[in-house]
Structure 1
């Protein structure tokens, strides 16, 4: 469905929430699934074990033109169901505790400042996406995982293919193979020469408990590397755009930096960039909102529309930076809620507190209608964002 406003879900999605919050719809690829648009129903499904995350199930809703090819690769964390999911998640959960993430704050601040320095020293206008939004979270996740940042262009170009709904299946298969080969070689090298980073610590942990599962580590690295930069990069660009468009709100926020964390929650709710990335398949007959979803049927959860639900959020279409509500769906909900949410929050907080302070005259170099938004991707954002000051 086409957006009429880059800051809001398509009107048809909003109509579904109002008239038929659990409705049968046909996707562009011809697949018929259930679309769920109400906040309450989305949370219910995401916490109900009768809905599976197994993307290899024939009924799982896919958004690409053709069904992704089958793979012999080990299923990633986001594809697992209990009890395997709980075991796999616990193994890495300690890397993303609030205490450990807060310890990264000084390094994230340094990375943000260094990229702002480079912007200020270079010519104008500058593409914020390439100069700032992409490299900042890319460098952070590379350092966290232990991936050489020198290879960032390699995985950035390939991750762009993976989130493009129009990418040909053979192209997606090639990209996945290239990334898995790269990460497999990286994990093997770290097994030979241990490093003090997430992958190195996971290798050490597995050795203590038994044999190193190389495929498990490669799958985990694949998920964290792609999710860890693509999502935050898009949020940085969109956040910058909307705050520059609402200078009164930006000024109020700058006068009270203690409110930045609340603003981050609201910005996450407002944009919900992984708007159509939440899919499930029923493994039993389940009634949701008075509608019977039968075993084997796919369910697409439109979190962006759920996050604009007027039953949950007052003036849901308004950006209220003091709302501070954390019951949004931007990180999902339930057992599969985003592992890296604390890291994303911290990165956005540091970016907001630093970017506008250090470049007080920052402004878009082109009108919004000249920007190219990622309407064909499962992660929403801006492709290029020229700015000046």
Structure 2
């Protein structure tokens, strides 16, 4: 039965399928599941699932019970028993996932489904639904705080992958094509969630949280390798007269202009440069292995590229320009100081007439 209890001292399905301690560790290594995921799973159980397991399963059980083939589950295990087992499994989400007992329970569940001739997709569906309700609950709890949310989502995806793998192994029927489809869906979901937590939806560039995380990483890298041999430059850019564009043509056109400028910036930079939307109409470019002279040259190339490509929409031909400030990372400097100096240089470009590049005087 789905999530049925078992004698932890006997693991016949693990033995039959060759899941000894070495193979268990190989599976966990393949999925990159480690001690940190055990700690995160504990937090998910205590902070998200505790006291809500019945409610979370209720969200999707009615729809699940209407799926084609559920009558086989009802006849084989009983609807109430199946639901209660699902709730109990949710309460134990990720608990002791690195043990032979955890593997045995999932292999035994799959074998029971195979013996009852219940399709593998019906066994997999509760795992996908559990993943969906946990993702929804985590998103509600952390309110799209990307840096906090992503480790939890990553753990949910990895533990779901482990369960899907084990149930497929236990089932041992010719369902490889369907399994591949399930894994494709999981990969697509992973990609979608990764984009959601790191990409600005309007421009396709890094969002603020991902930008700050990446900048911190590159500053640490420059410190480790030495500033002289690995200089780092940062450009802060801002659209000139963007409020006027919004007021004149409307916010929808303003959004299209932002997307257009993001594309022009990408065209003027190198593949390894990091580009993010800092907020509103401001963009930041992080350039590794780039001294001040090269950083200024790239900023000028961005400025010219934007200026020479006005935005065309319907009957409008909208000129767009950027003001840019460039600063190079100093010895021992943190990201806040670097951003502040680049921002000050950018505002100096604004005061000096806009559509120009200014290098921070203290770089």
Task: Specify if TM > 0.5.
Answer: no
Question: TM class, shorter-chain normalised?
Answer: under 0.3
**Larger RCO (CA under 8 A, 6+ residues apart):** 1
Higher helix share: 2
Which TM-score applies when normalising by structure 1?
0.22
Structure index of larger Rg: 2
Q: TM-score, normalised by structure 2?
A: 0.24
